[in-house]
Amino acid sequence: MMDMKRIFSTVLIAILGGLIALGAYKIFERPTEITSIEERQQAQFASLKTPRMVGSAGLVDFTEAAARVTPAVVYIQTTYPMNYRNGGRQFPFDDFFDFFEDRRRPQQPRRAPRASGSGVIITDDGYIVTNNHVVENGDKVEVTLNNRRTYVANVIGTDPGSDLALLKIDAKDLTFVPYGNSDDVRVGEWVLAIGNPFDLRSTVTAGIVSATARSIGILGSDRALRPGETPTAAIESFIQTDAVINRGNSGGALVNTNGELIGINTAIMSHTGSYEGYGFAVPVNIVKKVIDDLLKYGEVQRAFIGVSFTPIDAAFAKERELETTHGIYVEDVVEGGAAQEAGIRKGDIIINMDGKEIVGTGDLMAIVGLHGPGDKVSVTVLRDGKERKLNLTFKNRQGTLEPQVAQSNFKELGIELAPLSDDEKKQLRTENGVRVTSISENSQIYNYTQIREGFVITRVNGQAVDSEESVSRALKQSKQGMVQIQGFFPSQPGMYTYTFPLAK
């Protein structure tokens, strides 16, 4: 009996000791730093993993996935200035599929042009991903939630190369869509498209994945490429689906049957402007990289290979007397570029990169889009009929490995600003703006524009501004050192647009 008591006491002491140790550990342990949106999502959804949903007929059931995701897909309305023009067209992005309000009503009072699209909430505190072409050059971006509450959104960053944009609204405890893994997407699997086509809010359609790594030539590079440079400023490696999408679906969610985000719906291929069976979405793995770069650096850290290339098809293979119809044919390499330093030569055929087979342009772009300067990948090339394995380190546009952090360059403008009061906004009939209170005669803005003291700036690089901070944020979106400022003189009619170099 004494032995049993002794054993029981020993076990009890051991248990108490373990609990005390665990409690002390929990008290003194340092919380894990969460650095990316994906890690934040995983922390919140760790206890919510559910198995794949199967209906009574043995088929995949869409109802639960639709119920989960629909509250996290938002309606976005972008307002443009009255005199907005885009390359000679009154309304932008005809190649995509945004829905513009009916403008064929001459009897109606003239209103500022507006476009609508969709967006996807990706954090509970209001970060939203959408397409760049949904919000680009807008005076004002409004987000309406599934519960009809409306917010004015801040454009945190945009990336024309992937046609993605990151917005932020001031809200908490929002339903969001967890990231999936687009590398796991397979042709033939069921998917749901959720968005706001033709202003029909929260519309859900279903289809299958028709193809992956699809390049359709809809995204243009944001600058002229140097001779021999790979056109990686535009990343096209779309998921193709036959889930019905139309105008207004831009920026909406493409999800799997577990309710996980696998893509952002971006474009349709159509002869009529309406859906004809071919929809395209940016894969979520590219979305993850772009959004995290915008948050961390203010701009996307794009990887460059340093080659010019031609995808191989049967005709090209016959012309060049090649033994394969798969891969990317290297036409030239950039001096000092990543490819040259890796040992890639003119005439090589890239058939594998980062452990993935390269069949065409989309396969290569998918890998490039997931990496940044300094990342290392293995490359397999065909040279003289033999395979050679090489190691490549991506570089950035400047040919270095260092991340490029967007600078606000506000001081270089050479101006001082003051926000407009509510009374001034009402008197000037503007919803936002900052007044120029001082301007340096040595500044670029003074020498290249007619902007002087008293001018009201409403937009910088297409983003609405109402404070010095918002101007600094918008300056980060300057392309090739050029700044676009729009606004008006209180004593003169009309809006004015000025584009000029930021630095001398």
Q: Based on the fold, state whether residues 54 and 130 are members of the same structural domain.
A: yes
- Same domain? For 197 and 331 the reply is no
Q: Is residue 400 assigned to a domain?
A: no
Domain-embedded: residue 399? no
Structural domain for 492, as ranges: 410-501
- What is the chain's pLDDT, residue by residue, as a tens digit (504 residues)? 556 556 556 655 666 565 555 454 444 444 445 568 888 777 766 545 555 554 433 456 789 999 999 999 999 999 876 655 443 333 333 445 543 343 434 445 556 678 899 999 999 999 999 999 998 877 789 999 999 999 999 888 888 889 999 999 999 999 999 999 999 999 999 999 999 998 888 899 999 999 998 887 766 543 333 443 344 457 788 999 999 999 889 999 999 999 999 999 998 887 777 777 889 999 999 999 999 988 888 788 888 999 999 989 899 999 998 988 889 999 999 999 999 999 999 999 999 999 999 998 888 988 998 899 999 999 999 998 899 999 999 998 878 887 776 665 677 788 999 999 989 999 998 989 999 999 988 888 888 888 999 999 998 888 888 888 888 878 877 765 678 899 999 988 888 888 887 776
Number of domains in the chain: 3
> Would you say residue 4 lies in a domain?
no
Q: Is 472 a catalytic residue?
A: no
Extract the runs of DSSP E, i.e. beta strands, from 236-385.
238-241, 253-255, 261-268, 279-283, 307-311, 328-333, 349-353, 356-357, 376-383
Please state whether the predicted TM-score (pTM) of the whole model is above 0.75.
no
Task: Respond yes or no: is residue 3 known to be catalytic.
Answer: no
Q: Phi and psi (nearest 5°) for 438? A: -155, 145
On whether both 44 and 169 belong to a single domain, the answer is yes
The pair of structure tokens assigned to 409 is 């360059």
Choosing from 298, 320, 341, the residue where a domain stops is 298
Same domain, 332 and 208: no
Phi, psi of 283 (to 5 degrees): -60, 145
Q: Are residues 322 and 228 in the same domain?
A: no
Residue 26: inside a domain: no
Give, as one character, the DSSP assignment of residue 273.
S
Q: What is the 3-state secondary structure (H, E, C) of 40-103?
A: HHHHHHCCCCCCCCECCCCCECCHHHHHHHHHHEEEEEEECCCCCCECCECCCCCCCCCEECCC
| Catalytically annotated residue among 98, 116, 133, 162 | 133
Q: Which of 98, 139, 159, 163 is catalytic?
A: 163
Residue 176 lies in a domain: yes
Confirm whether 163 is a catalytic residue.
yes
Q: Looking at residue 269, which CATH number applies to its domain?
A: 2.40.10.120
Strand 73-79 versus strand 140-144 pairing type: antiparallel
196 in a domain, yes or no? yes
Q: Are both 284 and 333 inside the same structural domain?
A: no
Q: Using CA atoms, how far apart are residues 341 and 314, in angstroms rounded to an integer?
A: 30
Domain end position, chosen among 393, 426, 458: 393
